Structure 1
């Protein structure tokens, strides 16, 4: 099983929805991603750094998310080549994807990042849903 619910996709418009929680002290780690792309391993990675969610380790997507449940929606329009991120129903970030992959899938949890990863790594997820348009 690859992605959440074993759903891999390569076309269409797909959406991940889940409620996430990252406790204070977890920093520099990936909490959600779309795995797969044309030339890269991932289409998007969301990492938490000191309570802020970032696109990979760069652009800030949302701030002040330690120790509270938040709703994350990732919408991937494969044909349009875009990924849009919503936090608690508000659009926070949009970017071009990294090319159409043949086995795209959503992942959530906690994964070590390349550098500056905290010793404690934790995220919790509930009420996960996958939608296809």
Structure 2
């Protein structure tokens, strides 16, 4: 396994707790980053339909430690099988790096492996991962 992925895995487990993290977390974060960067450029709060999933974007107040010119957004992906919230920070027209810190899945409802797996399947179906 790549050392950076191993470090990210350890960080995620300590950050979100062992009950929330599972084998889908990192892939779902990476797939979410791809979808947001390629399909959901920052702009006005709005909603889209993307391959059977409703996506609602809302601008939020910035997190600490990001440049003043950055914009923090949440993206809510929802359908019958899941509701996933991803927080993302944009800066100068692109996602702020490091992506593992600034664009990540922050909530999955229902909080079940099935919901995370369903989101993962959707991401794979649209070739995001």
Question: What's the TM-score once normalised by structure 1's chain length?
Answer: 0.29
Higher RCO, Cα 8 Å, sep 6+: 1
Structure holding more strand per residue: 1
Structure holding more helix per residue: 2
